[in-house]
Amino acid sequence: MSNIKQGKAFAYTLVAFGTGLLFGVGLTISEMVNPEKILSFLDIFGEWNPALVFVMIGALLITVPGFQLVNVKEEPFFALKFLLPDKTLIDKKLLGGAMLFGIGWGMVGLCPGPAVTALVTLRPEVFLFVAAVVIGMFCHKLLVTH
């Protein structure tokens, strides 16, 4: 492996750690790890709390220009290549997965990323949710890949 590739791999690891840490801190500050906050945001016909709209707007302000940058750059700053999805087809599997994700998010106020971050709260329901996600991933792998 050349020095350039080794340097990029090290930089990639540092950037991945830093962005993951920043993501976790952002989830915590915005209270996206708080199921009650999420459920109150999703309760548009009850006691709706619109605060997370601003979190989503902030995320879009970063994400949209980032995707534009991907379209014009040859390669990323800290990786050997861009890791973009191969599939662009909207099929039954994608729609089914999106529906399951939305139903789960609406039922318990957690989704996988914030749930992993919320493990530090030591709340039993968070551990149960993460365990259910892991079991679901394992079952999917068994059923779909075999």
The DSSP string of 14-61 is: HHHHHHHHHHHHHHHHTTTT-HHHHHHHH-TTSS--THHHHHHHHHHH
Residue 5, pLDDT > 80, answer: no
pTM of the predicted structure, to 2 decimals: 0.74
The segment with the largest mean pLDDT, out of 3-12, 50-59, 137-146, is 50-59
pLDDT at 127: 96
Percentage of residues in the chain having pLDDT higher than 90: 45
Q: Which domain holds residue 132?
A: 3-145
The enclosing H or E element of 100 equals helix 92-108
pLDDT digits (tens, 9 = 90+) for 11-28: 888 888 999 999 899 889
Residue carrying the six token digits 């970063």: 62
Residues 92-120 have pLDDT tens digits of 989 998 998 999 899 999 989 899 999 99
Work out how many domains the chain is built from and give that number.
1
Place of tokens 């994608």: 94
Confidence band of 145 (pLDDT split at 50, 70, 90): confident
**Cα–Cα distance measured from residue 87 to residue 89, given in angstroms and rounded to the nearest whole number:** 6
Q: Are 23 and 31 in contact (CB under 8 A)?
A: no
Q: What is the number of residues in the chain?
A: 146
Angstrom distance (rounded) from CA 16 to CA 137: 23
